[in-house]
Chain A
Amino acid sequence: GEDVEQSLFLSVREGDSSVINCTYTDSSSTYLYWYKQEPGAGLQLLTYIFSNMDMKQDQRLTVLLNKKDKHLSLRIADTQTGDSAIYFCAPEGGGSQGNLIFGKGTKLSVKP
């Protein structure tokens, strides 16, 4: 079945850049999303990229997509302690309904 893989943990120092990587198996995804989840909270949509794009920049966030390798990454510039959370990569599953396939998430810890 469809699968999404992410590293479980990432630790960075405040002010550094964070790069969260994701690989996926479904090549038919039209949109690929990044969500942020803070403890006890719902999912916050951070950004997304259309499958015919290689890169998308949105303020401190940069998304890179390598469709050939089915690799997606999220770079957070000037990482702050408030960025500490779990980040989920979520490509669309196959089919027209647009349901998302989530990995287990990457827990980002930002040290002051």
Chain B
Amino acid sequence: DTGVSQDPRHKITKRGQNVTFRCDPISEHNRLYWYRQTLGQGPEFLTYFQNEAQLEKSRLLSDRFSAERPKGSFSTLEIQRTEQGDSAMYLCASSITAEQYFGPGTRLTVT
């Protein structure tokens, strides 16, 4: 069991550019979550997949954000036309039962 992995670990981009992050959950975990964490705050829920179906999206997830989990395994989170307010740590978690295991996160800096 290698744990949840995320790629890249760090991303610096200019305002207005698009970015895409990848999350590989623990093998056989059917549930996958994306959260966002800003400095000094706890993580905030963004969206949730059960297998390949996106079942819940937070109000935080504006139209510039899109997430996919095409075959029910890895997931991608894309942010279009990035803004400085998008700078944060993007965390992915997976579960099969009650326990959610988090990846190391992707730190996004928008300049």
Contacts and interface: CB of A to CB of B under 8 A. Distances in A.
Q: Do A and B make up one complex?
A: yes
Nearest to B43: A102
B44 interface: yes
Contact of A93 (B45, B55, B104): B45
Contact of B98 (A42, A48, A104): A48
Contacts of B41: 104
B104 A41 contact: yes
Interface SS, B side: strand
Chain A CB within 10 A, most for which of B42, B91, B104: B42
Nearest to A92: B98
Contacts of A45: 99-102
Interface in B1-60: 31, 33, 35, 40-45, 48, 50, 55-56, 58
How extensive is the interface on chain A, given as a class?
20 to 34
Nearest to A50: B98
A33 B55 CA distance: 22
Which of B41, B44, B45, B55 gathers the greatest number of chain A CB atoms within 10 Å?
A: B45
Nearest to B31: A98
Given A42-B104, A42-B105, A95-B56, A102 B99 contact: no
Interface of B: 31, 33, 35, 40-45, 48, 50, 55-56, 58, 91, 93, 95, 98-105
Interface of A: 4, 30-31, 33, 35, 41-45, 48, 50, 88, 90, 93, 95, 97-105
